[in-house]
């Protein structure tokens, strides 16, 4: 895997943790909102911390979809789960939240599991497929059907 791909995975991790932290901080300032009161939702979105959180989460989504374009979901999701460690540290030391020992244990288990995933290939190879897009079950032809969806004659 190239340095650029590691950078994308790091971006996914950092953008998710930072975006969630900003969103949490802003929503604690805003207070309770209800989807039935549109004004409260708009007011929450206009909070600068919430707005920054939304922008960071959009950056997360962009880097996440980029990573999924060249690696399997079963590789990307565990590799980016290191964000749980980063998020717990941010929550504990910047947001001053209590993180219980049980949660720290869960985070340690997640981190250990990432070690098992990191050793495997990033992408499942399908030598019988002509192009990457054809590896999707939705795009693969089934026996007896043409690509257009019709039945072979």
Q: Does residue 77 register a pLDDT over 90?
A: no
The Cα diameter of the chain in Å comes to 68
Q: What is the Cα–Cα distance from 62 to 13, expressed in whole angstroms?
A: 12
Q: What is the Cα–Cα distance from 111 to 105, expressed in whole angstroms?
A: 10
Position with higher pLDDT, 79 vs 52: 52
Q: How far is CA 71 from the centre of its chain?
A: 13
Q: Does residue 13 register a pLDDT over 70?
A: yes
Q: Does residue 145 register a pLDDT over 50?
A: no
Q: What is the Cα–Cα distance from 63 to 135, expressed in whole angstroms?
A: 22
pTM above 0.85, yes or no: no
């Amino acid at each position: 895997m190239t340095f650029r791909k590691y950078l994308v995975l790091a971006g996914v991790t950092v953008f998710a943790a930072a975006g969630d932290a900003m969103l949490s901080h802003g929503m604690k300032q805003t207070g309770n909102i209800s989807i039935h009161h549109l004004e409260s939702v708009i007011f929450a979105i206009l909070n600068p911390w919430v707005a920054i959180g939304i922008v960071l989460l959009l950056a997360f989504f962009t880097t996440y979809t980029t990573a999924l374009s060249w690696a399997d979901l079963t590789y990307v999701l565990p590799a980016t789960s290191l964000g749980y460690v980063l998020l717990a540290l941010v929550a504990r030391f910047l947001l001053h939240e209590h993180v219980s020992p049980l949660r720290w244990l869960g985070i340690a288990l997640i981190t250990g599991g990432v070690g098992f995933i990191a050793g495997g290939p990033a992408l499942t190879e399908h030598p019988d497929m002509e192009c990457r897009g054809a590896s999707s079950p939705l795009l693969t032809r089934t026996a007896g059907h043409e690509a257009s969806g019709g039945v072979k004659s």
